[in-house]
């Protein structure tokens, strides 16, 4: 790998990571799953946008196909998706899967049969509407039917993680269903390929692949799991820490991935199952989990997801009718099949719809690309499949959020705009401090003086110094539309009649609308909880700017 090759590789990696991060953050701001932003980052940097409007820039950053950096990038993406699924597997709760196993089976059977039948019917009946170039061979129809019924475990897992429901009841139905559908889908794909492609490439026959797959899963989740659980204390006791246990995890992930790839399945399955087996052990330490999850999620995962969007020119080969038909068939099949399965197995209509929406997300681009190699589908079907993958993934996050009425948790940091932070309170008495904080909070639609008096009246009826150097003066105000908060620090401390007799150094003012009693209490509790830790309090007192304050409040809400 020469000078310019390495430069291009590093540039491409840096560009993908930066774009994925920026778009991911924007998606999060808009209440979407980060993974969507990452996929769209790839579309922006790829032939669709950057390649169309600034091909010279695109060519300088991203390597031409077949060159060493392009080959390396493709290899790193494969490694990335394997490691991502290994880490996702580590978070699977086997107990939850066991509990929801029957339901997952119902969902996945429905979610495979309906799309397969629908896809096969459409591809045989109106092949041109889904982009067939040769009048529609049986091979094309079979491939199309499989493509309709396959899922996208990586995208689905990421979407649920981003929404914070990966380990919830919904997650316990969706993830096993996606695993089953993808497993069967890949196996079916292997069958189709071996039927079409007589020249080999597969080292094993289809029957062997199926047997080996089932055997691998069974062994890994029983004997393998037991062995890993026994091996972990030994590894942590006698090998260097933390290098030993991390090396053990990597060997397990890569070895299993190599095995499932070799038997004709995809590498991601081995990695995922290995992750499940490892993550189930109570001997795995928190630090090991954190290191693996943080690094893989912030380095490898964005590279893979942005890589999806990078591969296709979505505009050049866009055929509206084909795209519309494929999208309609794909959504109809999955939503009806999965939704029906979930509903028949006893889920409520909203939960069933959420399960169907989650499983409707696609993105298994490798299958699409692989099929190109075998000449099964043309460019228009290819683009239609990519658009379907993007649109279904795009829709999944917001739809689930709406169906389950998920609320974003707003930390204290979200309630404190820059003006609401008073770094040093001037007053050294209660009334003065309250007045300063009300002015800083600036409650819209309420007179400052009205608010001050309401807060002070409250102080008379019950002191708001909650002890430990923290006070939360508060009031509910008619006419206020939304809660407002302000945080002030007193160098000398101000007496707020706390039970422990300590003066308050951190004073948080809380004003809420008159009717919102629940919200009022919730915010009180949240302030008390987020500022409970003496270490956090110390840092708040020392914060030199609003940015530093926000940074440490946000860090306080996660395990450091």
Catalytic residues: 474
Q: Is 541 in the site for its own copies (CB under 8 A)?
A: no
Nearer Cβ to its own copies (241/318): 241
Among 295, 439, 442, 502, binds its own copies (CB under 8 A): 295
Nearer Cβ to its own copies (223/290): 290
Among 130, 184, 292, 527, binds its own copies (CB under 8 A): 292
Among 32, 33, 34, 365, binds its own copies (CB under 8 A): 34
Residues in the chain: 560
For residue 170, which of 409, 401, 333 has the smallest C-alpha distance?
401
Q: Is 364 in the site for its own copies (CB under 8 A)?
A: no
For residue 279, which of 359, 214, 224 has the smallest C-alpha distance?
224
What are phi and psi for residue 492, nearest 5 degrees?
Answer: -85, -20
Nearer Cβ to its own copies (129/212): 212
Among 101, 242, 398, 442, binds its own copies (CB under 8 A): 242
Smallest separation, CB 453 to its own copies (Å): 34
Q: Is 195 in the site for its own copies (CB under 8 A)?
A: no
Q: Is 530 in the site for its own copies (CB under 8 A)?
A: no
Nearer Cβ to its own copies (223/251): 251
Beta strands in 84-182 (DSSP E): none
- How many other C-beta atoms lie within 10 A of the C-beta of residue 552? 17
CA dist 446 and 443 (Å) reads 6
For residue 142, which of 208, 197, 198, 196 has the smallest C-alpha distance?
196
CA dist 364 and 189 (Å) reads 12
CB contact at 8 A, 482 and 417: no
Q: Is 285 in the site for its own copies (CB under 8 A)?
A: yes
Q: Is 247 in the site for its own copies (CB under 8 A)?
A: yes
Q: What are the CA-CA distances from residue 36 to residues 31, 39, 305, 356, 387 (Å)?
A: 11, 5, 8, 18, 13
Q: Which stretch binds its own copies (CB under 8 A): 244-252, 400-408, 436-444, 506-514?
A: 244-252
What are phi and psi for residue 509, nearest 5 degrees?
Answer: -90, 135
CB contact at 8 A, 524 and 474: yes
Among 197, 261, 428, 519, binds its own copies (CB under 8 A): 261
- The distance from CA 147 to its chain's CA centroid, rounded to whole angstroms, is 23
Contact set for its own copies, span 81-100 (CB under 8 A): 82
Among 28, 99, 423, 458, binds its own copies (CB under 8 A): 28
With 0-12 CB in 10 A as exposed, 13-18 as middle and 19+ as buried, what is 215?
exposed
Contact set for its own copies, span 112-151 (CB under 8 A): none
Nearer Cβ to its own copies (299/318): 299
Q: Which stretch binds its own copies (CB under 8 A): 116-124, 290-298, 315-323, 349-357?
A: 290-298
Smallest separation, CB 469 to its own copies (Å): 23
Nearer Cβ to its own copies (73/180): 73
């Amino acid at each position: 790998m020469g000078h310019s090759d390495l430069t291009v590789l590093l540039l491409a990696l840096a560009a993908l990571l930066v774009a994925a991060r920026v778009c991911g953050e924007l998606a999060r701001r808009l209440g979407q799953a980060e993974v969507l932003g990452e996929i769209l980052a790839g579309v922006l940097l790829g032939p669709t946008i950057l390649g169309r409007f600034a091909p010279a820039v695109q060519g300088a950053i991203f390597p031409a196909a077949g060159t060493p950096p392009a080959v390396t990038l493709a290899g790193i993406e494969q490694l990335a998706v394997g490691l991502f699924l290994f880490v996702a597997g580590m978070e699977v709760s086997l107990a939850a899967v066991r509990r929801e196993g029957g339901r997952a089976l119902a969902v996945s059977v429905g979610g495979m049969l309906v799309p397969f039948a629908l896809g096969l019917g459409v591809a045989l009946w109106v092949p041109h509407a889904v982009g067939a170039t040769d009048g529609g061979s049986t091979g094309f129809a079979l491939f199309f039917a499989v493509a309709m019924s396959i899922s996208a475990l990586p995208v689905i897992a990421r979407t649920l993680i981003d929404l914070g429901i990966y380990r919830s009841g919904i997650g316990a139905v969706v993830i096993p269903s996606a695993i089953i559908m993808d497993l069967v889908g890949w196996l079916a794909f292997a069958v189709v390929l071996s039927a079409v492609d007589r020249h080999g490439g597969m080292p094993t026959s289809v029957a062997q692949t199926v047997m080996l797959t089932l055997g691998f899963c069974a062994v890994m989740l029983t004997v393998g799991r037991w062995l890993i659980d026994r091996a972990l204390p030994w590894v942590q006791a006698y090998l260097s820490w933390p290098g030993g246990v991390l090396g053990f995890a990597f060997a397990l992930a890569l070895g299993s991935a190599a095995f499932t790839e070799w038997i004709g399945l995809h590498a991601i399955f081995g990695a995922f199952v290995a992750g499940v087996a490892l993550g189930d052990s109570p001997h795995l330490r928190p630090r090991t989990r954190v290191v693996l999850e943080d690094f893989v999620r912030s380095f490898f995962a964005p590279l893979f997801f942005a890589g999806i969007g990078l591969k296709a020119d979505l505009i050049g080969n866009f055929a509206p009718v084909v795209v519309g038909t494929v999208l309609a068939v794909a959504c109809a099949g999955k939503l009806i099949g999965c939704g029906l399965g979930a509903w028949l197995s006893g889920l409520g209509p909203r939960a069933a719809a959420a399960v169907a929406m989650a499983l409707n997300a696609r993105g298994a681009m490798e299958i699409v690309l692989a099929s190109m190699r075998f000449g099964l589908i043309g460019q228009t079907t290819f683009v239609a499949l990519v658009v379907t993958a993007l649109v279904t993934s795009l829709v999944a996050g917001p739809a689930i959020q709406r169906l389950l009425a998920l609320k974003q948790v707003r930390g204290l940091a979200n309630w404190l705009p820059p003006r609401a932070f008073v770094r040093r309170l001037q007053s050294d008495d209660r009334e003065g401090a309250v007045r300063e904080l009300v002015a800083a909070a600036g409650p819209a639609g309420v007179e400052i003086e009205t608010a001050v008096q309401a807060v002070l009246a409250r102080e008379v009826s019950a002191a708001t110094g909650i002890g430990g150097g923290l006070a939360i003066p508060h009031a509910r105000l008619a006419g206020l539309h939304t809660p407002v908060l302000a945080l002030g620090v007193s160098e000398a401390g101000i007496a707020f009649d706390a039970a422990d007799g300590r003066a308050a150094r951190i004073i948080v003012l809380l004003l809420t609308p008159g009717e919102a009693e629940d919200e009022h209490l919730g915010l009180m509790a949240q302030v008390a909880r987020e500022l409970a830790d003496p270490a956090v309090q110390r840092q708040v007192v020392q914060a030199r700017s609003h940015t530093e304050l926000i940074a440490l409040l946000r860090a306080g809400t996660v395990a450091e």
